[in-house]
Amino acid sequence: MMRQRESNGAKLFLTELMFSIFFFAVIAAICVQLFSGAHTRSVHSKELVQSVNLASNVAEYYTVWDWEEESWQKVFPEGEWQGDVWQASFDESWEPCEESGEYLLQMEVVNGDEYREAYIAITEIETERVIYELAIKRVV
Amino acid sequence: MNSKMKQRHSVDILFLLVIFLVFLFSAVSLLVLAINFYRSTSMRSEENDSARVAVAYVREVIHQNDVADEISICEFDGVQALAARQEGDYVLYLYYNDGELRELYTKEGAQVTAEDGQRIMELQAFDIKEITPGVFAVECEDLLGNREQIIISRKSSRGGADDETT
């Protein structure tokens, strides 16, 4: 009788523990998903902040630029011109790098009759995801 | 027979104990994981904010006071400062002194020192220079060691802004 009661107690405890583990596993899966989502968002947020900053720098200088490639290179020595496109690569810590890095900043200049337009885009090279885009018009 | 029952009973307890330990280990692991995620997220958010606030403030000061060449870099009480001249011979100085970014709004020629300025925020380093006429480069380093650099152009020197950003 005593042994039967002990065995029932152990079974009950085991069942309770199994239920706890099951609920814990479900909640843990949800939590990990939420944490990884928050982590991804914070990484993207940092990328966006850096991209907005870089694009703003380029846009600020574009508005007063004298259209000479030499003066552009003096202010932004990290990139190079390829025709009408100026581009610069950045590594994962947003430091300029010569080889193909993690991020690419491209500025395409389009000459019009009244305006000279520039399209600035910052992309993640591996996924080709556009992080930030900015268009500027400047009177010629 | 009795010893067999006893052995089975101790295996039952051992099994329960192992499951309980696994449960405990998972719970602690999840907690540690959560703490690390939270720490890295809040750290990244702080990194994003502190240095950016300083350069954004300087950007705002330059754009707000961008009237008829009234923005310049000068020396104020032995420190390098951004001076924004305003109506009625008043001048707004923005400078770095004693590990702090400070601002001082005063009448030009008044007997004031860099210590009199209003504290904006603490920084490790701050530098502002005019790289080409009308183009300022501002570089600052916050207390976490994050560096931020921005380029700001003075548009009033060309007789007003003719740019349009979309």
The per-residue pLDDT for B4 is: 62
The pLDDT of residue A86 is: 93
Residue B89 confidence (pLDDT) = 85
In angstroms, the separation between the Cα of residue B24 and the nearest Cα of chain A is 10
Angle (deg, nearest 10), helices A2-62 and B2-64? 20
Q: Model confidence at A46, in pLDDT bands (50, 70, 90)?
A: confident
Distance of CA B54 to the CA centre of its chain: 6
Q: What residue in B sits closest to A22 (Cα-Cα)?
A: B23
List Cβ neighbours of A59 (8 Å cut-off, separation of 6 or more).
Answer: A118, A120, A134, A136, B165
Is the pLDDT confidence value at A3 over 60? no
Please give the sequence-ordered ranges of beta strands (E in DSSP) within B51-134, or none if there are none: 71-76, 79-86, 90-97, 100-107, 118-122, 125-132
Instruction: Give pLDDT < 50 ranges for chain B.
Output: 159-166
- Cβ atoms of B34 and A35 within 8 Å: the answer is yes
CA–CA dist B125, B147 (Å, integer): 9
Among chain A residues, CA nearest to B156: A64
pTM: predicted TM-score of the whole model, two decimal places: 0.75
Please provide the distance, in angstroms rounded to a whole number, between the alpha carbons at the two ends of chain B: 87
Q: How much is the mean pLDDT over chain A?
A: 86
Please tell me which residue, A41 or A6, carries the higher pLDDT value: A41
CA distances from A138 to A44, A66, A85, A99, B53 (A): 30, 12, 16, 31, 28
Amino acid of residue B132: T
Q: CA geometry: angle at B39 spanning B58 and A27, to 5°? A: 135
Q: Which stretch, A76-80, A110-114, A117-121, has highest mean pLDDT? A: A117-121
SS3 A15: helix
Highest mean pLDDT among A36-40, A133-137, B33-37, B158-162: A133-137
Integer Cα distance of B158 and A12 in angstroms: 84
- Any chain B CB within 8 A of the CB of A11? no
Partner-chain contact A38 B152, CB within 8 Å? no
Which pLDDT score, from 0 to 100, does residue B160 have?
44
Report the residue of B11, B50, B165, B166 to disrupt the A interface, i.e. the one with the largest count of A CBs within 10 Å.
B165
Q: What is the pLDDT of residues B148-166, one digit of tens each?
A: 889 998 877 554 444 444 4
Is the predicted pLDDT of residue A122 greater than 90, yes or no?
Answer: yes
What pLDDT, on the 0 to 100 scale, is given for residue B166? 46
What average pLDDT score do residues A99-117 get? Answer: 87
